[in-house]
Structure 1
Amino acid sequence: MIVRPHLHWFRLLFVWRGSVLPYIATRLLLVLAVSVASVLSLDWWMNAHAASALSIPPFTLMGVALAIFLGFRNSVSYERYWEARKQWGALLIAARSLTREIASFAPPEIELQQRVARMLAAFAYALKHQLRRTDPRADLACRLDPALVEHVCAARFPPAVLLLALGRELAAAQRNGAISDLQLLAMDRNLNLLTEASGACERIANTPIPYTYRVLMNRTVMVYCLLLPVGLSTSIGWLTAVVAPFIAYTFLALDVIGEQIEEPFGTEPNDLALASMCHGIEASVCELVGETPRSAAPAVVDYVVT
């Protein structure tokens, strides 16, 4: 996720880090080359094939239709991004509520409270690694017992196994008289909320936008941007080398932004800062029970935090 202060509008014109220019620079150079070639060959084309010369009106109609399709695709992508952010917000709320309940219902059980806080932090990190398809062992080893770490890492769905272990921990506390049946029921509701949040995140991660739709948008945008200089050159001449790349920048940038935010759990600059969110959850629950967080806040590198 990009984290940087608000800039003056003039400075925003020259921002490189955090924009999509690095991803589309090669394609913009290609559009510029086609623009120059179109203007240089204009006289020959008009003399040899005047009847088939392109003009601006067809590209105006095509541009409107393409803008509508890109807008729809970006809306769908942002909806996935925003839903993912809401689920992690719900996860934070449920983790805080569960920690508050165990601290309120069993004040003498300090060790139990801190163990629950560590397990909740481990759950957040396990979910992060599952969504990013990375190894959770290092983040779990500093928060859980070795036997539980091995059991969780051997599972196909580590977050679900951790919630099962946490549920058994609370059930054992109820059998030992540390909490009552009604208190266990209240805490179980938050465990269910954690399960729902993790399941929703898995649904988003495992159900991408159909690949054929992505191929269609990419081809349409690229063909439109390459044909546009041919139509503009007959009307505005050398200004084509300025106008065509600018229009191409708009369409190509929208296409790339849609691709980036449709997978919100990745590590690209515009994806969710899952490591920072995990640290926030851990710091929040540990503070409630007097436990020391096992992680430090992720550093911001080139205005990007992961």
Structure 2
Amino acid sequence: MIIRERPTLGQLFFILRGSVLPRIFPQILVVMAMSALIVWGHREAPQFVPSVAGAPFALIGIALSIFLSFRNSACYERWWEARKLWGELLAVSRHLARQSELFEQRSESAGAARRTILLLTAALADETVKFLRGGECPNNSTARLLAPDVAAAVRAARNPPSEIINRMSRELIALVNGKIISDIEFTLLERTVTRLSDAIAACERLRNTPVPFGYTLLIHRTAHLFCFMVPFGFADVLGLVTPLAAGLVAYTFFGLDALGDELEEPFGSMPNDLPIAAIATVIEIETRSMLGDTDLPAMPEPVDYILM
């Protein structure tokens, strides 16, 4: 996610970090080059490269803008829902750390169980990042914080976050069976663990259910066809300025299209995606600080204005 102050007017046209321009620049160059060829061909051989009235392009552009705004709204809704889910993970992790204090002083085994549960919570956030993004866990919390046999079992599971949730529930069951916590306390804590599971399941739903492909394909095709055809409508009216105008149109439509692609996958690693690895680090810091640990990771900071 881009973390920076609002640019000044002088900086506005030179910012590339976080912009979609690097992704769409080749397409814009193709449109501008094609526009230049069309203008040249219309002047040198108008019988082969005719001009077209611009009114239809205005109507098509308005319709395409509406369709793009609908898609971008749907993609932003996915991005915002994902952010709320990770806010839920952070908040519920804090609740669990606070609620588990009720059996901290009851016995040595209860204190050990609380530590195990909170370390599992920290590892859960990190494993969820890996589960949603692929690759390795960014903070390596599972290997650092959990016992070797537990870490190996988590890594071997088909769904590591689910395996961690199950282990947290088993710790609570052992506490209630050992009469260390009451049935009411168990219900309270189990409900909190269930909220963690629900948030992760909702993230999995978002990851596995993209915007319908047919709708996305229609927008992609229409945007490209419009940008490649629009120079024919500008050639007579704008003349030599046509490549610049066509490039501006291409930047707008291709940019909206590319931005929608980024927002559609909120758990990815593009500059405008969510900083879920940073949130996982904050969860580890807060849960382990409740245990009194001091060897905590540093608070996440943006690198080149990007927080991942």
If the length of structure 2 is used for normalisation, what is the TM-score? 0.93
- The 2-side partners of 1:293 and 1:203 are apart by 35
Alignment of 1:77-226 (within 5 A): 77-108=75-106, 109-136=110-137, 138-226=140-228
Contact 2:126/2:140 (8 A) holds in 1: no
Q: Which amino acid aligns with 1:116?
A: I
- Cα deviation 1:225-262 (Å, max 9, x = unaligned): 11111110111111212211111111110000000110
Q: Which amino acid aligns with 2:244?
A: V
- The 2-side partners of 1:245 and 1:171 are apart by 63
Q: CA deviation at 1:299?
A: 4.8
Name the residue aligned to 2:273. 271
- The 1-side partners of 2:165 and 2:176 are apart by 17
- The 2-side partners of 1:107 and 1:73 are apart by 54
Task: Mark the runs of 5 or more structure 1 residues left unpaired by the alignment.
Answer: none
SS of residue paired to 2:145: coil
Contact 2:89/2:199 (8 A) holds in 1: yes
Contact 2:262/2:270 (8 A) holds in 1: yes
Name the residue aligned to 1:232. 234
Moved more, 254-263 or 3-12: 3-12
RMSD, aligned α-carbons: 1.8
Contact 2:267/2:276 (8 A) holds in 1: yes
Moved more, 285-294 or 191-200: 285-294
Contact 1:105/1:183 (8 A) holds in 2: no
Q: 1:107 to 1:56 in 2, by over 3 A?
A: farther
- The 2-side partners of 1:174 and 1:102 are apart by 13
- The 2-side partners of 1:304 and 1:111 are apart by 38
- The 2-side partners of 1:110 and 1:291 are apart by 14
- The 1-side partners of 2:64 and 2:43 are apart by 30
Q: Which amino acid aligns with 1:55?
A: A
SS of residue paired to 1:107: coil
- The 1-side partners of 2:302 and 2:88 are apart by 25
- The 2-side partners of 1:107 and 1:227 are apart by 74
Q: Which amino acid aligns with 2:2?
A: I
Contact 1:114/1:291 (8 A) holds in 2: no
% identical equivalent positions: 38
Contact 1:103/1:289 (8 A) holds in 2: no
- The 1-side partners of 2:179 and 2:295 are apart by 28
- The 2-side partners of 1:82 and 1:45 are apart by 52
Q: 1:293 to 1:164 in 2, by over 3 A?
A: farther
- Cα deviation 1:87-115 (Å, max 9, x = unaligned): 11111111111110111343354433322
Q: How many equivalent residue pairs?
A: 304
Q: Which amino acid aligns with 2:270?
A: E
Q: CA deviation at 1:173?
A: 1.9
Match status 1:245 vs 2:243? no
